[in-house]
Amino acid sequence: MRSFIRDICLRGLGFINKPAAGVHILNGHYISKENKNQNVLYELLKSLSQNVEYIKIEEAVALVTEKKKVKEKYIAFTFDDGFEECYTKIAPVLKEFNTNAAFFINPNFIESDEKYKRQFLSERVFVKNKNPMKWNMIKDLHQQGFVIGSHTTDHLRLNIENEKILSEQIVVSKNIIEEKTGSICEYFAYPYGQENDISKEALTIAQNTYKYIFSGFNHKKYFSFANTVINRRHFEGDWPLLHMNYFLSFKKRYK
């Protein structure tokens, strides 16, 4: 009943609200929990495109980090965890709209055996039946112009102080991605993405390792942690258009 009421309220708010001007960096994981067809995402982006313009993640990051005042309504995409549908379903749809995304991956999930995969998925209550991309898919995405970023080696919550573990998760993941793709990895999104999910020690290591760091909270503001972390707005590919209209209606601000 609660979810039904929430859906009705969001649809009503989305009916009277439209996306606000600014740079909206959206972050998802998949098209749907149930592995729906990619047409679901296509139809959502097609409908949204009547009110917004899609830009590449590099363009969005440049506008945000340079603190540009934007009168247009821009959307850029990122996706965490490196599920196989990022390659088979999501990337093809984004290409139809002449844009790209940053895919944040966990190298040990990419290379996982069945036991590791089950453990990885068991820690994500929202999904149980997803497979990881393979390195050949990730290399192909990189060659197509998508950004490959790090999401730590094992999707570990970084609210710890142990520098050895933090280095294994933050620095080693970057090294693996660079070795596999043959390109510098400059983008990092810390797992779970909330304010309390990263310690000061972890943030310092990430700042010394990557050019850009991303969170998953405080989406009304462009930055968190003293303007060092770029905030993203959560979505998934099967969310209703009216929900998206409401979530994107908040004016973005730098302070």
- Sign of torsion, CA 232 234 238 242? negative
User: So what's the pLDDT on residue 206?
Assistant: 98
User: Nearest-CA neighbor of 219 among 191, 193, 180, 192?
Assistant: 193
Q: Is residue 102 within 8 Å of residue 78, measured between CB atoms?
A: yes
Q: Residue 213 in 3-state DSSP?
A: strand
pLDDT in the model for residue 50: 96
The answer to whether the beta carbons of residues 74 and 21 sit under 8 Å apart is: no
pLDDT, position 66: 97
Q: Which helix (H) or strand (E) holds 47?
A: helix 39-48
DSSP helix/strand/coil, 37: coil
Taking only the tens place, the pLDDT of each residue in 100-121 is 999 999 999 999 999 999 999 9
Strand 22-28 vs strand 229-230: parallel, antiparallel, or unpaired?
unpaired
pLDDT (0 to 100) of residue 122: 87
Cβ neighbourhood burial of 106 (10 Å; 0-12, 13-18, 19+): buried
Q: What would the two tokens of residue 248 be?
A: 């994107």
Judge residue 2's burial from the number of C-beta atoms within 10 Å of its C-beta, 0-12 exposed, 13-18 middle, 19 or more buried: exposed
Structure tokens at 220: 């009304």
pLDDT of residue 125: 60
Give tens-digit pLDDT for 172-181.
999 999 999 9
Query: What residues in the chain have per-residue pLDDT under 70?
Result: 1-2, 125-126
Nearest to 82 by CA among 223, 181, 210, 227: 181
Domains of the chain by start residue, with CATH = 2-247 (3.20.20.370)
Cα(212)–Cα(235) distance, rounded to whole angstroms? 21
Q: What is the per-residue pLDDT across 194-233, written as a single tens digit (0 to 9) for each?
A: 999 999 999 999 999 999 999 999 999 999 999 999 999 9
Report the C-alpha gap between 121 and 11 in whole angstroms. 31
* CA 193/CA 216 separation, integer angstroms: 4
The answer to whether the pTM exceeds 0.85 is yes
DSSP 90: I
